[in-house]
C-alpha cells in the first residue's frame, strides 16, 4: 500500500486526495486505470490545483513547485487526473505490481535524454 497524504493506492483503488473544489477525494478503481504515465513536470509546476490545458487536472498540492515528476492517470476520459506524489517511483512500483501498465518502470523519456525518478 502507498499513502503519502496526497495520493493513496490500496488493493482496490487509487485515491487522489484534495481533488475537487471543496477538498473532496477522487477514487478511481484500479480496474478502470488503463495506464499511468510518468512525465517531467510540465510548465505549470506552479499550478497548485486545477488545470492549465483543460486536459490534465491536478489535485491541490502546495509543494508542487518543488516536484520534478507528474503522473498522468489514463482512465479513458477526456479529463486526465494528474498527481505529483512525494515518492513517484514507489507509487509506480505499487501500481505496476497490481497489473497497471506504466512507462519504463520509473524511467521517463524526454527526447533523447532519460530522466530517472527521484
3-state SS, 74-90, equals ECCCCCEEEECCCCHHH
pLDDT per residue of the chain (118 residues) written in tens, 0 to 9: 999 999 999 999 999 999 998 879 999 999 999 999 998 886 557 888 999 889 999 999 999 988 889 999 999 999 999 999 999 999 999 999 999 988 854 454 444 444 444 4
Q: What is the pLDDT of residue 114?
A: 43
71: left (phi > 0), else alpha (psi -120 to 50), else beta? beta
Q: What is the pLDDT of residue 21?
A: 84
Q: What is the pLDDT of residue 112?
A: 41
78: exposed, middle or buried (C-beta count within 10 Å: 0-12, 13-18, 19+)? exposed
Amino acid at each position: 500500500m502507498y499513502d503519502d497524504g496526497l495520493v493513496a493506492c490500496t488493493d482496490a483503488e487509487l485515491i487522489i486526495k484534495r481533488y475537487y473544489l471543496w477538498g473532496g477525494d477522487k477514487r478511481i478503481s484500479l480496474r478502470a486505470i488503463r495506464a499511468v504515465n510518468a512525465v517531467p513536470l510540465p510548465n505549470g509546476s506552479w499550478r497548485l490545483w486545477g488545470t492549465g490545458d483543460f486536459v490534465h487536472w491536478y489535485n491541490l498540492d502546495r509543494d508542487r513547485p518543488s516536484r520534478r515528476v507528474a503522473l498522468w492517470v489514463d482512465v479513458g476520459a477526456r479529463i486526465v487526473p494528474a498527481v505529483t506524489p512525494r515518492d513517484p517511483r514507489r507509487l509506480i512500483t505499487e501500481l505496476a505490481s497490481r497489473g497497471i501498465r506504466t512507462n519504463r518502470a520509473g524511467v521517463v523519456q524526454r527526447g533523447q535524454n532519460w530522466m530517472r525518478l527521484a
